[in-house]
């Protein structure tokens, strides 16, 4: 049996804690740590447990609280509950979490050993490659997102996810679907920015034979395909006003008709929408319907840009290293400290997606310096031509003194506002530099910045950059 796993035992009774500890010792599990019911999530994270055991003296209310904390700190972690009666076991096994095992202390060590073997086997399987959505990080913002997912995943309400391109909006949508009661149904995605209006309408609603030239047979749309599951509507901010009306009707009536159809079709699907646009501003400008905005925004989750959670970068680097070492059958390549410093100081305009692409290149090239060549390393560290970001950062080095003083003289100034202003100016200068170097060839500029063409167009628009 594999024993080298960190096992956290949470129990309020010191006598029972000692008894469980002795049982684990006899079973050959030396890596143990003790916890109490009032532990904070930060304390739980610091212990880095692989498996948790909640003791029999905790009671239903306390183990429920502990279970919620554990599943926020590490969603895929197996939890063993010590259940002395069938009613408690039934509630535990029907809790809205996966990865729960029950054991009866009155059945001796055999029941505990069985549950531990199964739990550790699940840990070993998950170490190969997770098959559930993983939100990597320990930052306060990521913990808050996990808490919201935990709170609303099983509630059949619409959710609006906002954030810059590459921040993980689709991953949040997948997590909401995975932890919901609809997870046995399909998760269907439609990208509103990828298709022109006429094609988008037929993709979403489907069509009847003869509805238009080329409609040779009936075709169900994404809405029908998502029946009893989840429809993820990406880039909903790009939806035209005419399609916004039809979409609003679906949300209100739970029914629609195909193009060329004469009857309404009922649909049972949950809608999760995402956008990198400011929908409140689009409502004020009259390009997005206020009633649709309110219908979508029942629950709002914001995916923060990577530059606002840089403490998560080492963990994310480790996660992507593990993922692509497994995929490409390569050995690990641990980043040296100077590389981690580069990763943590770079502003990541392409966010998590850009970091993932960099780590993928590292695993393929087996060379950190080569993989990081285009993400802003300075000439002093590589001797190579620096990127638009390097030049933009260099031009802003005098920024600190006078401009920070100016900010502090403003009422309501804060570190967060100063940082946001600085990063915004770096981003604007980096994009402007890339555009100048490419003679305003936006596709080439996007490549040099390591972002998608669409992301660059949106940032040019948002930052009001002009030739």
| Whole-number average pLDDT of the chain | 80
Residues 96-110, mean pLDDT to the nearest whole number? 69
Query: Given this structure, which CATH class describes domain 387-467?
Result: mainly alpha
Task: Count CB neighbours of 389 within 10 A.
Answer: 27
Residue 463 has pLDDT above 90, yes or no: no
Cα–Cα distance, 58 to 74 (Å, whole number): 21
Q: Is 259 exposed, middle or buried (0-12, 13-18, 19+ CB in 10 A)?
A: middle
Highest mean pLDDT among 38-52, 218-232, 381-395, 415-429: 218-232
Boundaries of every domain in the chain: 7-128, 140-304, 324-383, 387-467
Thinking of the domain 140-304, which architecture would CATH place it in? 3-Layer(aba) Sandwich (3.40)
Residue 432 has pLDDT above 90, yes or no: no
The model's pTM: 0.59
Question: 387-467: same fold as 140-304?
Answer: no
Q: Which CATH number fits domain 7-128: 3.40.50.2300, 3.40.50.300, 3.30.300.30, 3.20.20.110?
A: 3.40.50.2300
Q: Which residues of 140-149 are buried (b: 16+ CB within 10 A; e: fewer)?
A: eebbebbebb
The per-residue pLDDT for range 142-193, each reduced to its tens digit, is 999 999 999 999 899 999 999 999 999 999 999 999 999 998 999 999 999 8
Cα–Cα distance, 127 to 190 (Å, whole number): 31
């Amino acid at each position: 049996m594999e024993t080298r796993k960190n096992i956290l035992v949470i129990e309020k009774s010191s006598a029972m804690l000692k008894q469980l500890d002795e049982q684990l010792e006899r079973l050959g599990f030396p890596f143990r740590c003790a916890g109490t019911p009032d532990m904070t999530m930060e304390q739980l994270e610091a212990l880095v447990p692989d498996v948790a055991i909640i003791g029999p003296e905790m009671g239903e209310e306390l183990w429920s609280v502990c279970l919620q904390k554990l599943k926020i700190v590490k969603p895929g972690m197996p939890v063993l509950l010590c259940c002395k009666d069938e009613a408690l076991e039934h509630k535990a096994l029907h809790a809205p979490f996966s990865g729960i095992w029950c054991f009866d202390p009155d059945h001796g060590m055999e029941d505990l050993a069985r549950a531990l073997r199964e739990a550790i086997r699940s840990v070993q399987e998950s170490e190969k490659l997770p098959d559930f959505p993983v939100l990597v990080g320990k930052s306060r913002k990521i913990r808050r997102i996990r808490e919201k997912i935990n709170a609303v995943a099983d509630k059949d309400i619409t959710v609006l996810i906002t954030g810059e391109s590459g921040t993980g909006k689709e991953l949040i949508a997948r997590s909401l679907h995975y932890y919901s009661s609809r997870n046995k149904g399909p998760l269907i995605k439609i990208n509103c920015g990828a298709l022109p209006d006429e094609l988008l309408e037929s993709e979403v609603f489907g069509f009847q034979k003869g509805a238009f030239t080329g409609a040779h047979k009936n075709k169900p749309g994404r809405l029908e395909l998502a029946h009893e599951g989840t429809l993820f509507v990406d880039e909903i901010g790009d939806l035209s006003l005419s399609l916004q009306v039809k979409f609003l009707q679906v949300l209100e009536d739970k029914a629609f008709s195909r193009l060329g159809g004469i009857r309404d079709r009922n649909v049972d699907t949950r809608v999760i929408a995402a956008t990198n646009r400011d929908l409140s501003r689009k409502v004020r400008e009259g390009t997005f319907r206020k009633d649709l905005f309110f219908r979508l925004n029942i629950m709002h989750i914001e995916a923060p840009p990577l530059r606002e959670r840089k403490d998560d970068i080492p963990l994310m680097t480790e996660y992507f290293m593990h993922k692509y070492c497994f995929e490409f059958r390569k050995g690990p390549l641990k980043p040296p400290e100077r590389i981690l410093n580069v990763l943590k100081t770079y502003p990541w305009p392409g966010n998590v997606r850009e970091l993932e692409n960099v780590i993928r290149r590292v695993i393929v090239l087996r060379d950190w310096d080569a993989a990081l060549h285009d993400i802003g390393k300075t000439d002093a560290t590589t001797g190579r031509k620096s990127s638009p970001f390097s030049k933009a950062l260099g031009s802003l080095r005098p920024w600190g003194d006078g401009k920070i003083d100016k900010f502090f003289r403003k009422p309501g100034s804060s570190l967060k506002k100063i940082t946001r202003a600085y990063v915004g100016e770096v981003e604007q200068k980096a994009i402007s530099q890339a555009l100048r170097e490419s003679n305003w060839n936006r596709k080439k500029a996007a490549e040099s910045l390591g972002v998608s063409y669409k992301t660059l167009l949106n940032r040019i628009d948002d930052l009001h950059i002009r030739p």
